[in-house]
């Protein structure tokens, strides 16, 4: 959606609502106002600009007229004139708040290739360029990915008003985009000092702290999150970042409540489309659409592509709706070749996207994102398809009443956990993670290639840092203290996490040199290096998912701790599919004891490696054909229920589960 679309729609709505007031003041202008508003609504920007300019001559004190005139000029690309109209609007005593938002967009386009700071210097100290105009300009710059310039403009605005929480909020998001996690945390702390009840910022701050393994006051912060989440919404509508909660030890019902709040933020007052009538359904196989930002070089695409290639087209017609720009990579081309319909919606408005999906006659529309980066869950709020589900990309509930089903399996989403989800649970046969032999075959590597000691007992913990929480690290360090030959192999995602985990190890009585750091390597080496470790140690309450499947593919045994949430049971599902149920633990003591036993007697490791080597070519874990069949079977069941007029309901897996299913 273009940056100016929000001001355009709101300004138009406000214009229509103000018609009687203008008529009372100047009755002769009433017909012209009608024509101006009608032209505005039709997008006839030239006619609208002429009409609003004419009205403005007779009503020079009406800020709404000046705002609509500026907007019509902006839509034509006449930004110098639009800026002049906005200056008039912003100089009036009764200003229109939307004028400041529009000013940000107009200034951005007038900026061109010039640096933002130089552009502001050229504009001078005009009184209409107040703090809110600067804030709008900075926000527009960030939307256009000119993040460093957005920071500069925001800092200029803060020099005028240091306690502007919105600007500190904007700086937090800019610092996140720049990868400056510690700086983002400091910006968030400033926002919370000004507005202690801002739960959205608090959750962003916690996630950024976890990304840098900054655990200071972790218990106090968790208590504060629980307190704020338990409060009524009280009109503070915001897109609560529920993904931040998945790696925290919080009640699943609290996560559901906040997901419902996020979904309410995305739900429109008036859907763009009427419900789909059953009698209008076209004949043929069930039509399934997947919506994702990750149809590119990304783990979701890597997992799914082989299953898509193996779907029986006589039973299921697949359309992929991509919301990200084309990265030009081979995986995107392979995805496009795998399905009858590949549609680029990266630049589409909500209206264009939902109408395209409806026109394609999609029966089951599947979201692969949830509340992750690039999500377009708002498309689903308009009900472009009669059956809507979420799958794979987000291990939790959407909280959305416009999503009918959450696709899981008997291990990750047992039916007795239904109260964790607003959706109905639909269990597929086998493991929900796509079985795929897409990965390269492991090749021989030496421990010295990656800095591992040859004679060590290697615990592989190659997780993103936000999944490593204090009690997980406590247990790992306990094992290191008890097993002198053990080392912990971690992924060096950023320098702050490296520094902090070394400090945390020292606090727990472990020499920091026993932490070995993996660096970024080519994909084939990334897969192959797993085999250098002795055991992959999982995290909780957010397990390894794709990384766990990568480790098992390479033949590295995985020790999992099964939890009580979707995110904490994926590793258990993978192990069940691999026939390694005995590698699943249900409490910390059993987990610690099993690790110590493996360090003392490696025989079970060798047996598990042999089973995994066989699993690579046989068995259900990496069988993309079986996974494709399970997906199609489930989609047909979901579609059949709708055709029969039956409401969404919990669906148990159609057949048995496990290596012999």
CA separation for the pair 298, 293 (Å, rounded) = 10
For the ranges 180-184, 224-228, 589-593, the one whose mean pLDDT is highest: 589-593
Q: Is residue 307 in some structural domain?
A: yes
First to last CA, the chain: 46
DSSP type of residue 435: P
- Read off the CATH number of the domain in which 69 is found: 1.25.40.10
- Read off the CATH number of the domain in which 310 is found: 3.40.50.11380
Q: How many domains does the chain have?
A: 3
Question: At residue 229, does pLDDT exceed 80?
Answer: yes
Q: Which residues contact 578 (CB under 8 A, 6 or more apart)?
A: 552, 611, 612, 615, 619, 621, 659
Q: Is residue 379 in some structural domain?
A: yes
CA atoms within 13 A on the CB side of 43: 1
pTM of the model: 0.87
Least confident of 123-127, 329-333, 452-456: 123-127
CA separation for the pair 198, 205 (Å, rounded) = 11
H or E element at residue 331: helix 330-338
CA separation for the pair 428, 570 (Å, rounded) = 14
CA separation for the pair 10, 368 (Å, rounded) = 31
Q: Is residue 253 in some structural domain?
A: no
- Read off the CATH number of the domain in which 580 is found: 3.40.50.2000
Q: Is residue 412 in some structural domain?
A: yes
CA separation for the pair 110, 114 (Å, rounded) = 9
List, for residues 613-623, the tens digit of each pLDDT value.
999 998 899 99
CA separation for the pair 367, 353 (Å, rounded) = 14
List, for residues 546-564, the tens digit of each pLDDT value.
999 999 999 999 999 999 9
| 373 plus 460 within the same structural domain | no
Question: At residue 152, does pLDDT exceed 70?
Answer: yes
| 402 plus 330 within the same structural domain | yes
CA separation for the pair 351, 189 (Å, rounded) = 37
| 421 plus 461 within the same structural domain | no
Q: Is residue 37 in some structural domain?
A: yes
| 296 plus 396 within the same structural domain | yes
Overall average pLDDT of the 476-496 stretch: 97
| 421 plus 508 within the same structural domain | no
| 288 plus 395 within the same structural domain | yes
Q: If pLDDT is split at 50, 70 and 90, which confidence band does 591 have?
A: very high
| 401 plus 479 within the same structural domain | no
Overall average pLDDT of the 516-532 stretch: 95
Give which of 215, 372, 380 is closest to 300, Cα–Cα: 372
Query: Rounded to 5 degrees, what angle do the CA atoms 402, 404, 409 make?
Result: 140
pLDDT at 18: 40
Q: If pLDDT is split at 50, 70 and 90, which confidence band does 22 have?
A: very low
Among residues 111, 140, 156, which one ends one of the domains?
111
| 457 plus 577 within the same structural domain | yes
Overall average pLDDT of the 521-530 stretch: 95
| 362 plus 451 within the same structural domain | no
List, for residues 316-370, the tens digit of each pLDDT value.
999 999 999 999 999 999 999 999 999 999 999 999 999 999 999 999 999 999 9
| 39 plus 93 within the same structural domain | yes
CA separation for the pair 596, 599 (Å, rounded) = 5
Overall average pLDDT of the 556-583 stretch: 97
Question: Could you give phi then psi for residue 5, rounded to 5 degrees?
Answer: -65, -35
Q: Which domain holds residue 308?
A: 282-427
| 423 plus 452 within the same structural domain | no
Q: Is residue 150 in some structural domain?
A: no
pLDDT at 302: 93
| 600 plus 455 within the same structural domain | yes
DSSP type of residue 235: T
Q: Is residue 64 in some structural domain?
A: yes
Q: Which two tokens stand for residue 643?
A: 């055709």
Among residues 362, 393, 427, which one ends one of the domains?
427
Among residues 427, 456, 483, which one ends one of the domains?
427
CA separation for the pair 245, 252 (Å, rounded) = 9
Q: Is residue 290 in some structural domain?
A: yes
């Amino acid at each position: 959606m273009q940056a100016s679309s929000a001001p355009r729609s709101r300004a138009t709505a406000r214009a229509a609502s103000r018609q009687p007031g203008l008529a009372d003041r100047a009755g002769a202008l009433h017909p012209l106002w009608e024509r101006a508003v009608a032209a505005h609504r039709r997008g006839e920007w030239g006619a609208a600009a002429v009409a609003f300019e004419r009205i403005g001559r007779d009503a020079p004190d009406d800020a709404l007229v000046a705002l609509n005139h500026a907007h019509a000029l902006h839509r034509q690309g006449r930004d110098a004139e639009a800026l002049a109209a906005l200056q008039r609007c912003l100089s009036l005593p009764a200003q229109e708040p939307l004028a400041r938002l529009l000013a940000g967009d107009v200034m951005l386009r007038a900026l061109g290739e010039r640096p933002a700071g130089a552009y502001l210097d050229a504009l001078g100290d005009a009184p209409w360029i107040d703090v809110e105009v600067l804030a709008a300009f900075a926000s527009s710059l960030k939307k256009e990915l000119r993040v460093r310039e957005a920071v500069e403009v925001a800092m200029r605005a803060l020099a005028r008003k240091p306690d502007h929480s919105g600007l500190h909020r904007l700086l937090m998001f800019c610092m996140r985009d720049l990868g400056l996690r510690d700086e983002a945390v400091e910006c968030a702390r400033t926002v919370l000092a000004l507005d202690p009840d801002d739960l959205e910022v608090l959750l962003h701050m916690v996630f950024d702290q976890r990304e840098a393994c900054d655990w200071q006051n972790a218990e106090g912060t968790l208590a504060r999150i629980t307190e704020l989440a338990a409060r009524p919404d009280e009109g503070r509508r915001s897109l609560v970042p529920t993904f931040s909660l998945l790696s925290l030890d919080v009640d699943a019902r609290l996560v559901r409540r906040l997901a419902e709040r996020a979904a309410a933020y995305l739900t429109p007052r008036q859907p763009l489309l009427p419900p789909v009538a059953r009698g209008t359904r076209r004949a043929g196989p069930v039509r399934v659409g997947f919506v994702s930002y990750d149809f590119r070089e990304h783990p979701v695409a890597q997992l799914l592509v082989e299953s898509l290639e193996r779907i029986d087209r006589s039973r299921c017609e697949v359309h992929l709706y991509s919301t990200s720009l084309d990265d030009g990579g081979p995986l995107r081309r392979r995805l496009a070749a795998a399905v009858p319909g590949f549609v680029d919606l990266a630049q589409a408005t909500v209206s264009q996207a939902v109408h395209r999906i409806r026109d394609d006659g999609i029966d089951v529309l599947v979201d692969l994102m949830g509340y992750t980066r690039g999500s377009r869950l708002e498309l689903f709020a308009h009900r472009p398809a009669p059956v809507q589900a979420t799958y794979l990309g987000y291990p939790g509930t959407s909280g959305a009443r416009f999503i009918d089903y959450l696709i899981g399996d008997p291990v990750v989403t047992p039916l007795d956990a239904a109260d964790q989800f607003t959706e109905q649970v639909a269990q597929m046969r086998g493991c929900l993670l796509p079985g795929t032999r897409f990965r390269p075959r492991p090749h021989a590597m030496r421990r010295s290639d990656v800095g591992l000691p040859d004679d060590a007992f290697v615990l592989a913990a190659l997780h993103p840092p936000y999944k490593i929480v204090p009690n997980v690290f406590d247990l790992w360090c306990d094992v290191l203290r008890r097993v002198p030959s053990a080392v912990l192999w971690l992924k060096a995602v950023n320098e702050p996490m490296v520094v902090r985990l070394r400090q945390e190890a020292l606090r727990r009585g472990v020499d920091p040199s026993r932490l070995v750091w993996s660096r970024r390597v080519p994909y084939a080496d990334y897969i192959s290096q797993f085999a250098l470790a002795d055991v992959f140690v999982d995290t909780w309450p957010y397990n390894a998912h794709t990384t766990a499947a990568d480790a098992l593919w390479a033949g590295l045994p995985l020790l999992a701790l099964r939890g009580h949430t979707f995110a904490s049971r994926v590793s258990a599902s993978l192990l069940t599919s691999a026939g390694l149920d005995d590698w699943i633990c249900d409490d910390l003591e059993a987990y610690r004891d099993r690790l110590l036993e493996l360090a003392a007697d490696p025989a079970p490791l060798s047996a598990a490696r042999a089973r995994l080597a066989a699993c690579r070519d046989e068995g259900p874990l990496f069988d993309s054909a079986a996974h494709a069949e399970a997906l199609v079977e489930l989609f047909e069941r979901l579609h059949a229920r709708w055709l029969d007029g039956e409401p969404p309901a919990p669906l148990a897996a159609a057949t048995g589960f496990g290596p012999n299913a």
